[in-house]
Amino acid sequence: MTMLRRIFVTVALLAGLAGGVSPVFAQAPAGQQNPAQRDQQEGFVPIDQLPPQDQLPAAPLLIGAYVFVLLALFGYVFSVARRLGAVQREVQRLEGDINRSARR
């Protein structure tokens, strides 16, 4: 066995040992767990309403809805006003051209 191969095998064995042993050390003894953790492990307890910190907040949805409505309305009014202005300018330009050519 070459020197390099021996080093690889030793590192792999140590890594495997550490991976297998660490969860055993990571687990705290049952007596040291807090009551909430113990309850979660032993069974699920149903409740009627979510605790406030888990509930979906309404304000971003409400503000999002109103902002969308106002942006959509402003955007449409702006779009129609811009189109109308462009057409009216074009009409005035053409009327001017026609009047000038009629005078000649």
Partner 1 sequence: MPKWFTPAAGLCAVMFAASPLVIANAPYESTMGLVQKIFYYHMPAAWIFLIAAIVCGVASARYLFTGSITQDRVAWAAAEQVFLFGAIALVTGPLWARKAWGQWWQWDVRLTASLMGWMVSCAYILLRKYGGPGSDKLAAGLALFGAANVPFIYISVNYWRTIHPATSVVPTLPVSMGGPLWFCVVAFLLLFVLLMKMRIILEEQRTRLDSLYLSLDE
Q: How far is the CB of 98 from partner 1 (least distance, A)?
A: 6
Q: Please, which residue, 15 or 69, has the CB nearer to partner 1?
A: 69
Chain contacts with partner 1 (rule: CB under 8 A): 56, 58-59, 61-62, 64-66, 68-70, 72-73, 76-77, 80-81, 83-84, 87-88, 90-91, 94-95, 97-98
SS3 category, 32: helix
DSSP states of 58-101: SHHHHHHHHHHHHHHHHHHHHHHHHHHHHHHHHHHHHHHHHHHH
Q: Please, which residue, 6 or 83, has the CB nearer to partner 1?
A: 83
Task: Kindly list the distances between the CA atom of residue 48 and the CA atoms of 1, 9, 35, 58, 103, in Å, as whole numbers in the listed order.
Answer: 66, 56, 21, 19, 85
Query: Which residue do the tokens 């032993």 mark?
Result: 42
Q: How far is the CB of 53 from partner 1 (least distance, A)?
A: 16
Q: Please, which residue, 28 or 84, has the CB nearer to partner 1?
A: 84
Q: Please, which residue, 28 or 81, has the CB nearer to partner 1?
A: 81
